[in-house]
Amino acid sequence: MHARSVIVVGGSLAGVRTSQALRAEGYDGRLVLVGEEPELPYDRPPLSKGALRDDDVPVLLTEADAVQLDLTLRLGVAAAGLDLADGCVVLADGDRLPFDDVVVATGSRPRPSPWGTPPGVHLLRTRADATALRADLRRSGHLVVVGAGFIGAEVSATARALGVEVTLVDPLPAPMSRVLGADVGGIFTELHRRHGVETRLGAAVADIESTPAGPRVVLADGEVLPATSVLVGCGALPNDDWLRSSGLEVADGLVCDQHCRSTSDERVHAVGDVARWWHPRHGESVRIEHWTNAVEQAAVVAHNIVSPDRPRAYAPVEYVWSDQYDWKVQLVGRTLGAPVRTLGEPAEGRFAVVYGAGDGRLGGLLAVNWPRAVVAARRAVAGREDIEALVGALQAVGSRGR
């Protein structure tokens, strides 16, 4: 009888957590983790925060952990394709790894810079990217950040703490306004300005030029921003290209059912940034690029591989955090609808904003330095409570109650 084999492709958070969860669920067959990056898996959130100061990046799995898990590591080699007819993962070095189940955990990558990456222009996804950006920031000077999403806003805050001059540029009217809306995003504009960040919001970039003195960012209105370094943070794309020849349904991520199994082949599962699955509470397919999602989804995928006759649907309440200066920013649920109520004191850096779902129901919550509001919101969103019930709960705990 052949031993069962699970191949996990993608050697980072989602892949590591799925491997660990498989063993915790009692899976005792062959387990292989394939990762394109040559180094041991590490955590990414510090790359836009502390790691730009001190290169301190926690490892997610040591060699000893792998031995203890009876997990075979194949690091430094990419998966090039999936041969479903033969039941094999095909590696870039030509090796073929037979599987009974395969977990796709290949994450995402930065959207490429439309203006290229001449010297001094950075993208940020890997530890090597952070090391290169840190070296530039050490030389101080002037950083221009193109893209005021979460990563652009965090790098701006970290660079200011290092004493670097920062200009933050985005065609949208405020930082993170795609997620928070323009009005709430405006609170973050003020935060960054208070910390000395120059802003060019509502301003499109026409070009990034390379000069002997460093890169220059040219805005559509003709203004030129000289820089010692530039960070381009314009979102991310799922690493699903290697699946295109497999015949699996791929559409901005590997398309899966509510059990995180490919809609095309039940032996194929997806987890983390690359997974697009049917979210039963939202009634639509979603893809989420958040740390906590990768962790929670890994547990469900592992369970569904070990117990396919009792599969669990995956219906998380979205959660993401961000650290900017002394603000601990936390988002729960969906904040894409209209903000309906602000509680606490934005000027004091301790507040929450409740968002509707567009149909009068509760969507989600932004909390700044207010962890108890986050606990209440997770409960309220999961329980489909209405907006007033959450507002009442927040008033009861009070913004001073940490």
Ligand X SMILES: Cc1cc2nc3c(=O)[nH]c(=O)nc-3n(C[C@H](O)[C@H](O)[C@H](O)COP(=O)(O)OP(=O)(O)OC[C@H]3O[C@@H](n4cnc5c(N)ncnc54)[C@H](O)[C@@H]3O)c2cc1C
127 interacts with ligand X by CB under 6 A: no
CB contact at 8 A, 318 and 338: no
Cα 22 from Cα 190, distance rounded (Å): 46
Give least dist CB 297 to ligand X, A.
9
Interface with ligand X in residues 87-106 (CB under 6 A): 105-106
Task: Give the pair of three-digit tokens for residue 120.
Answer: 């001094």
Q: With CA atoms as reference, report the closest residue to 370 among 333, 400, 341, 347.
A: 400
Give least dist CB 117 to ligand X, A.
16
Contacts of 264 (CB under 8 A, 6+ apart): 247, 248, 249, 255
Give least dist CB 201 to ligand X, A.
22
Of 28-36, 161-169, 339-347, 360-368, the segment contacting ligand X by CB under 6 A is 28-36
* Nearer residue to ligand X within complex by CB, 157 or 203: 157
148 interacts with ligand X by CB under 6 A: no
34 interacts with ligand X by CB under 6 A: yes
Interface with ligand X in residues 316-345 (CB under 6 A): 320-322
Amino acid, res. 110: P
Collapsed DSSP state (helix, strand, coil) of residue 126: coil
* Nearer residue to ligand X within complex by CB, 188 or 203: 188
18 interacts with ligand X by CB under 6 A: no
Find where tokens 């009974």 sit: 100
- In the set 25, 27, 37, 210, which binds ligand X (CB under 6 A)? 37
Contacts of 362 (CB under 8 A, 6+ apart): 333, 354, 355, 356, 380, 381, 384, 385, 386, 387, 389, 390
Rounded to an integer, what is the distance from CA 272 to the centroid of its chain? 9
51 interacts with ligand X by CB under 6 A: no
350 interacts with ligand X by CB under 6 A: no
Kindly report the number of other CB atoms within 10 A of residue 307's CB atom: 12
Q: With CA atoms as reference, report the closest residue to 166 among 43, 290, 326, 52.
A: 52
53 interacts with ligand X by CB under 6 A: no
Q: With CA atoms as reference, report the closest residue to 108 among 308, 376, 291, 321.
A: 291
Contacts of 178 (CB under 8 A, 6+ apart): 149, 172
Binding mask 268-307 for ligand X (x = CB under 6 A): ----xx---------------xxxx-x-------------
Segment holding 236, helix H or strand E:
strand 236-238
Cα 233 from Cα 275, distance rounded (Å): 21
Find where tokens 């349904």 sit: 249
* Nearer residue to ligand X within complex by CB, 17 or 372: 17
* Nearer residue to ligand X within complex by CB, 9 or 159: 9
- In the set 48, 228, 285, 324, which binds ligand X (CB under 6 A)? 48
Give least dist CB 127 to ligand X, A.
10
CB contact at 8 A, 66 and 40: no
Beta partners for residue 192, in sequence order: none
Give least dist CB 41 to ligand X, A.
7
* Nearer residue to ligand X within complex by CB, 122 or 303: 122
Give least dist CB 154 to ligand X, A.
7
* Nearer residue to ligand X within complex by CB, 11 or 337: 11
Interface with ligand X in residues 221-260 (CB under 6 A): 239, 242
* Nearer residue to ligand X within complex by CB, 266 or 289: 289
Which residues are at the interface with ligand X (CB under 6 A)?
Answer: 9-15, 34-37, 44-45, 47-48, 78-79, 105-108, 124-125, 151, 239, 242, 272-273, 289-292, 294, 320-322
